[in-house]
Amino acid sequence: MLIGLWIYDELSFDKYHSEHERIALLQKNRSFNGNIITEQSMSIPLAAKLRESYGNYFEEVVASSYGGEKSLTVNDKTITKRGLFMETGGEKILDLKILEGSPKFPLAPFEILISDKTKEALFENKNAINQTVHLDKNTPFKIVGVFKSLPQNATYRSTSFYSSMDSYLQKEDWLDAKKLWDENSFPIYVKLAKNVSAEQASALIKDEIFKATQDPSKPALFLYPMDSWHLYPEYKNGLPVSTGKDNILIFGLIGILTILLAAINFMNLSTARSEKRAKEIGVRKAIGSGRGQIIGQFYAETLLTILLSALLAILLAQIALPFFNELAEKQIDFPWKNPVFWLANMLFSGLLILFAGSYPALYLSSFQPIKVLKGKVQSSSFELFSRKGLVIFQFSISIVLIISTTVVYKQIQFTKNRPLGYDTKGLVQIRKNNEELRGHFYAMRQDLLNSGAVVEMAETNSPMSETWHYSSHYTWPTKTATAEDLVTLRVTPEFGKTIDWKVMTGRDFSRTFSSDTSSVILNEAAVKLMGLKNPINQVIRKDGKPLTVVGVVKNIVMDSPFDPVRPTVFEMIKANAPFITIKLKPELSAAESIAKMEKVLKTYDPAGNFNYLFADRDFNKKFFREKRMSSLISLFAILAIFISCLGLFGLASFVAEQRTKEIGIRKVLGASVANLWQLLSKDFVVLILISCLVAAPIAYYFMNNWLQKYTYRTEISWWIFVASGAGALLITLLTVSYQSIKAALMNPVKSLKTE
């Protein structure tokens, strides 16, 4: 049931939008040396061109900012929230529901909408309309409306405020971006006209960037529908990767298999204990009951069992939902009022009754009354084979889940241990959201060093955990027309010491060399791309300006830890970049260091609300999907093993009961407890060994396919199969040993008594 709720939540992602099927994000595929890279950053002139030339195909074409954090200040209260600045029509792209105020669209410059949750945080129960809120403490905005917060299963759920693109460009002094085709810093959203498909529109606009810029990478535009954003969250070599859809299929299959395991237990134990009900069936048939009546009785018993189980499952699911939400990082509510939920439960229960109840009902109702009443009911070879086959099926599923959990965990650990090229421990970044922190680099750095909490401080133009800036403007002697764009990061000279990067050859930036403002440091991937055998003192150019290579550093992982490091150029700046990067002293605790550091920062920005981004924690967040998958598979692997063991325990009890007299005779003839334990356990051990042989190739096939989507991936080692099989075998022996030893210790006199 919990898996069903999770799947429903995943499939309903972004469905809050009343016209979600008509919303799309613009993407472009660019070719570099045979590789295709998919990007979503566009230029504002492209949005204007699409509105002008394809107005019949698009109701809205909206350039937007990225959802960055901003500080919002009202009087003496400051909070940090994410929001969007969008061109006219952005409110339709987001499908904002206005709760307070009567805003007129398009919004005038420096008008703003805030979410109801943001209003509560800033104003509590007071009126917010026509009040002033300062963004980054330096720009006043007039609040003209309050919108309903977007749901948790929405891509832009963190949107806490909304304003116009003009406001953003004026605030950031970036108005020239409206004219520059090569200023690719904005996502563009569209709302398709009715009866126009994303495929039709994509074919029409495909070459618009190339026509305007003659970009040698020949960018091909296409539309990425909103309905695919969550199920296909990324592109690899120009093709969508179905990560979200695959997870739904995986967990849906796990849920179905878990139910099957329980149903198999019911079938196995019902037929295994057939002798207990054989006389009842014989008597009923002898006094005139037809087979149909007996089948109906068994179905009724199954119906009652499953209905009671369903009620118990609903109760347990409600109790477990908070824990499950924490594990899956969701905010799922129990859908008491959703008719689809109840209909699905009834349908599923009906199918389960048919599946689990049919075999016992048909099998038990087939007993012949004469044989039954004479006590000649014996399990057929087909029945025994079926029972063993079901046990093999159960444990094959359990072993597949054990292997899968181990492989996912191994992949996470393998990637976590990947050399990052810098030291994340004690590395903190702060975005300078407020004007008060800007323009004080030298004094602030010295004050932080004097505080005793900081080893070093630097500034950069983007965070360490992401790549914000790419450039095609670099040239070098061997550059080809299809060479990929270079990642660019502008840093102060203290950056290398701050992050402890590894200089492979040459030197680090230095303030003692005035020429370093015209120098660059390359990573290993950039040296390889440029084909530089002796890179030091080589000259590359950016927009014609010569830049001297003074050093080469080890590749630094900034984007996905599962992908190759992209070629990167580090340029030196003297000061005043938007991000502060700080290395804390390892001798102090993080709390002590932050307290001392904040004391210094408060001298520059007394009302500042600082958000600290710890590099190691931020890096660990990149494993969110994999960790969630590992946690959920582990949970259901444990559940599958538990269910399988319950069935195994019941079968072991039944087998021991069936062989009571045989055990008594063997004990009289001198068999030891160990001999009898071996006798009763060996059949189950054989079944588990067969399960291992069945599970191994299945698990290898699926997990090998899963690993292929990662460029940087581990191998499926042989020991995983051995360890999983050994674990299943140990669990089996522990499960059946209780019944085996209990039977072996029985007094043979009691065992040989005639009923």
Over the stretch 105-163, which tens digit does the pLDDT of each residue have?
A: 999 999 999 999 999 999 988 999 999 999 987 899 999 999 999 999 999 999 999 99
346 Cβ contact list (under 8 Å, min separation 6): none
Lowest average pLDDT, out of 255-264, 369-378, 462-471, 529-538, goes to: 369-378
Q: Side chain identity at 548, as an amino acid letter?
A: T
Location of structure tokens 């009343």: 18
Distances (CA, A) of 30 to 33, 63, 79, 185, 526: 10, 20, 39, 16, 18
Count the alpha carbons within 13 Å of 710 in the hemisphere toward its beta carbon.
19
What is the C-alpha to C-alpha distance for residues 716 and 734, in angstroms, rounded to an integer?
28
Lowest average pLDDT, out of 370-384, 433-447, 697-711, 722-736, goes to: 370-384
Q: How many CB atoms lie within 10 A of CB 326?
A: 10
Whether 646 has a pLDDT exceeding 70, the answer reads yes
Name the DSSP letter for residue 173: T
pTM over 0.85: no
- 412-437: average pLDDT: 85
Radius of gyration of the chain (CA): 33
Domain regions of the chain by residue span: 8-241, 435-607
What's the pLDDT score for residue 639?
83
Over the stretch 688-710, which tens digit does the pLDDT of each residue have?
A: 999 999 999 999 999 999 888 88
What is the C-alpha to C-alpha distance for residues 45 and 43, in angstroms, rounded to an integer?
6
DSSP, residue by residue, 89-158 = THHHHHT--EEES-PPSSPPTTEEEEEHHHHHHHHTTS--TT-EEEETTTEEEEEEEEEPPPPTTSTTTT
Indicate the SS3 state at residue 169.
helix
Element at 228 (helix H, strand E): helix 226-229
Structure tokens at 486: 């270079």
Over the stretch 154-213, which tens digit does the pLDDT of each residue have?
A: 999 999 999 999 999 998 889 999 999 988 889 999 999 999 999 999 999 999 999 998
- Average pLDDT value over all residues in the chain: 86
Over the stretch 61-86, which tens digit does the pLDDT of each residue have?
A: 999 999 888 889 998 888 989 999 99
Q: What is the largest CA-CA distance in the chain?
A: 108
489 Cβ contact list (under 8 Å, min separation 6): 460, 461, 462, 467, 469, 568, 569, 570, 571
Over the stretch 296-335, which tens digit does the pLDDT of each residue have?
A: 777 887 888 888 988 898 899 899 899 888 887 888 888 8
Q: Do the Cβ atoms of 428 and 590 come closer than 8 Å?
A: no
Q: Do the Cβ atoms of 332 and 325 come closer than 8 Å?
A: yes
Q: Do the Cβ atoms of 555 and 422 come closer than 8 Å?
A: no
What percentage of the chain carries pLDDT values higher than 70?
91
Reported as a pLDDT band with limits 50, 70 and 90, residue 755 is: very low
Helix-, strand-, coil-residue percentages of the chain, each rounded to 5: 50, 20, 30
What's the pLDDT score for residue 277?
62
